[in-house]
Amino acid sequence: MTVLHLDLTHDATRRSLLADLRARLDAAARAALDSAVEAAGVPERHHHDLPDVLATIDGLQASSRVKDDMRAVYRILAQAEASVHGCAVDETHFHEVGNGEAVRNVCAVCLAVEALAPDRIAATSVQVGSGTVTCAHGELPIPAPATAAILDSGIPVCAERLDGERCTPTSAALIKHFVDEFDA
Instruction: For 33-44, write each residue's pLDDT tens digit.
Output: 999 999 988 887
Q: State pLDDT tens for residues 15-74.
A: 899 999 999 999 999 999 999 999 988 887 776 788 989 998 999 999 999 999 999 999
* Average pLDDT value for residue range 149-176: 96
For the segment 83-136, what is each residue's pLDDT rounded down to a tens digit? 998 999 988 888 777 888 888 899 999 999 999 999 999 999 999 999 998 877
What is the total count of domains within the chain? 1
- Looking at residue 47, what is its pLDDT? 64
Comparing 99 with 3, which gets the higher pLDDT? Answer: 3
Q: Can you give the pLDDT at residue 23?
A: 94
> Above 70 in pLDDT, residue 7?
yes
pLDDT the model gives residue 57: 93
pTM of the model: 0.93
Burial category of 90 from C-beta neighbours within 10 Å (exposed 0-12, middle 13-18, buried 19 and up)? exposed
Q: For residue 148, give its domain range.
A: 3-182
Return contacts of 81-90, CB within 8 angstroms, 24+ apart: 81/146, 81/169, 83/149, 84/145, 84/146, 84/149, 89/50, 90/49, 90/50, 90/51
Q: Rounded to an integer, what distance in angstroms lies between the CA atom of residue 157 and that of residue 8?
A: 9
pLDDT at 82: 94
Q: Which residues contact 177 (CB under 8 A, 6 or more apart)?
A: 69, 72, 73, 76
